[in-house]
Chain A
Amino acid sequence: MAQNNEDMLTVRVWRGADEGEFQSFRVPSRENQTVLDVVTEIQRRQDPGLSYRFACRVGVCGSCAMTVNGRARWTCRTHIRSLSGGPITIEPLANMPRIRDLACDMTGFFDKWGKAGNDFTSARSRQDTPAQVDPLSPQRKQADAAIECINCGVCHASCDVVKWNDEYLGPAALNRAWSLVNDERHTEKKTTLEAALGPGGCSNCHSQGNCMAACPVGLSPTRSIAGLKKMSLLAMIGIE
Chain B
Amino acid sequence: MMMEVRLYILQRLSAVVMAPLVIVHLMTILYAVRGGLSAEEILARTEGVTIWTVFYGIFVLAVSVHAPLGMRKILVEWAGVSRAWAGRLALLFFAGLIFAGGRAVLAVAGVLT
Give the contacting residue for B5; candidates A161, A164, A165, A201; CB below 8 A. A201
Q: Which residues of A contact B6 (CB under 8 A)?
A: 236
**B:1-28 near A, CB below 8 Å:** 1-9, 12
- Binary CB contact string for chain A from 184 to 213 against chain B (1 if under 8 A, 0 otherwise): 000000000010011101111000000000
Cross-chain pairs A/B with CB under 8 angstroms, 20 sampled: A164-B78, A165-B77, A194-B1, A194-B2, A197-B1, A197-B4, A197-B5, A198-B4, A199-B3, A199-B4, A201-B4, A201-B5, A202-B5, A203-B7, A203-B9, A229-B8, A232-B1, A232-B9, A233-B12, A235-B1
Q: Hey, which chain B residues are within 8 Å of A233, CB to CB?
A: 9, 12
- Majority-rule SS of B interface residues: helix
Q: Which residues of the other chain, A, contact B3 by a CB distance below 8 angstroms?
A: 199
Chain B positions near chain A (C-beta within 8 angstroms): 1-9, 12, 76-78, 83
| Secondary structure of the A contact surface, majority rule | helix
Q: Which residue of A lies closest to B83 (CB)?
A: A199
How far does the alpha carbon of A203 sit from the alpha carbon of B12 in the complex, in Å?
10
* A165–B9 alpha-carbon span in the complex (Å): 19
Interface residues of A (CB under 8 A from B): 161, 164-165, 194, 197-199, 201-204, 229, 232-233, 235-236
Q: How far is the CA of A194 from the CA of B6 in the complex (A)?
A: 12
* A236 in contact with B5 (CB, 8 Å): yes
Q: Distance (Å) between the CB of B1 and the closest chain A CB?
A: 6
With A199-B2, A199-B4, A203-B4 given, is the CB distance from A236 to B9 under 8 Å?
A: yes
- Please give, as numbers and ranges, the residues of chain B lying within 8 Å of A232 by CB-CB distance: 1, 5, 8-9
Do B8 and A203 touch (CB < 8 A)?
Answer: yes
Cβ 8 A contact of B2, one of A161, A164, A201, A229: A201
Q: Report the separation of the CA atoms of residues A100 and B83 in the bound assembly, to the nearest whole angstrom.
A: 33
Q: From A161, A197, A235, give the contact of B77 (CB < 8 A).
A: A161
Task: Give the top 5 A-B pairs by smallest Cβ distance, nearest first.
Answer: A203-B8, A164-B77, A197-B5, A232-B5, A199-B4
Question: When the two chains form their complex, are residues A165 and B76 in contact, meaning their CB atoms are under 8 A apart?
Answer: yes
Q: How far is the CA of A197 from the CA of B77 in the complex (A)?
A: 18
If the complex has contacts A203-B8, A232-B9, A233-B9, are A198 and B2 also in contact, measured as CB distance less than 8 A?
A: yes
Q: How far is the CB of B2 from chain A (nearest CB, A)?
A: 5
